[in-house]
Amino acid sequence: MENYWKVQEVAAALQISVQTVYRYVANKKIPFYKLNRSVRFKPSEIERWCDVKVSGVLVAQSKSLDETVMGNVRTEGCEA
């Protein structure tokens, strides 16, 4: 059975503030569980969540770069 992390452990692992973790929980932006009145996290789910977030950022950045490059190509082509 996997141990669950507390808010402080997630904050430390992600290098963000405890308040940010609570904000993510309140906005349901991070996978979490309520055990009694405590918030807990599965480390494996947090790792998967991070992987998806990083992949999404990289894809968005590469799309922006492609659009910038294509925009420059179109502009240069129009001027000729």
Residue 67 lies in a domain: yes
What total of structural domains would you count in the chain? 1
Rounded to whole angstroms, the Cα distance separating 36 from 33 reads 10
Residue 45 lies in a domain: yes
Cβ proximity of 14 and 49 under 8 Å: no
**pLDDT per position as a tens digit, 21-69:** 999 999 999 999 999 999 999 999 999 999 888 777 656 655 654 554 4
pLDDT of residue 78: 35
Distance in Å from the first CA to the final CA of the chain: 66
Residue 1 lies in a domain: no
Domain of residue 36, residue span: 7-79
Q: What is the pTM of this model?
A: 0.68
Helix, strand, or coil (residue 6): coil
pLDDT of residue 1: 66
Cβ proximity of 41 and 32 under 8 Å: yes
The pLDDT > 70 percentage for the chain reads: 69
pLDDT of residue 55: 79
Please name every residue paired with 52 in a beta bridge, in sequence order, or none if there are none.
Answer: none
Residue 56 lies in a domain: yes
Token pair in block for residue 26? 């309140």
pLDDT of residue 32: 97
